Amino acid sequence: MFLEPRLRSVQHKKGWIEVICGSMFSGKTEELIRRLNRARIANLKVEIYKSAVDTRYHDTEIVSHNSNAIDSIPVTSSLNILLMTQDADVIGIDEAQFFDAEIVYVCETLAQKGVRIIVAGLDMDYLGKPFGPMPQLMAISEFVTKINAICMVCGDIATHTFRKSHENSSLVMLGEKDTYEARCRKCFTEGMKKDV
C-alpha cells in the first residue's frame, strides 16, 4: 500500500534536454555550474561529464572563465557516458561541441529514461559555422538558452567566436583570450575579411 505512490512517481519520471549555447566568454559554463549546483541543493543525484580533449584549466574539473569549478568525469567517447551513468537524476555535459555525433543519441536515450540533461557548448565554430553536434542537440532539446558575450572590439552584443590567428586551420584548437575574442556579427565579419 505504501509502495504504490512511490512506484507511480518513478514510472512517471520525465526527462528532458536543456542546451546552453553561445560564443566563447559568454558564461555558458558558469550557467551550467549554477544549474548543477542548484540540482545538488535539491538533493538530486548529479553526474557531470566533459570531453577528455578539454584540458585548458584542469584535467578533471569543469572550470569557467571566472574560475568557478565543479568536479567532472572526462570521457573520450560520448557512448562512455551511457556506460558510466548510474541512476543519475541530472547529467551535466560541458563543451558538447567537442563530442562525437553519438552525443545526440546519448542525450536522447538518457532523457527517455527520465534524466534531466543539461548540455553546454559553442553553437558556432571560429568560422561562424554550426559546430559539431550542437545544432542537432538544440533541435531535440526542450529548452535552449543562448547566452551572449560582449564584443571585445566595439562593446556590442557578441555572438561569434573570433580566432585571432588563422595559421592553424584545425577546427578544434584549445585557447583562451590569447587565441580567441568574442565579437559581434559586424566585427567578426570585418575581422574575417582582413584574414582572407
Torsion of CA 78, 128, 33, 99, to 10 degrees: 10
**Is 190 in the active site?**
no
Nearest to 98 by CA among 119, 72, 115, 83: 119
Residue 152 grid coordinates: 571585445
Strand blocks (E) in 52-115: 61-63, 69-71, 73-75, 90-94
**Active-site residue among 18, 31, 47, 95?**
95
**Would you name the residues annotated as active-site residues?**
95
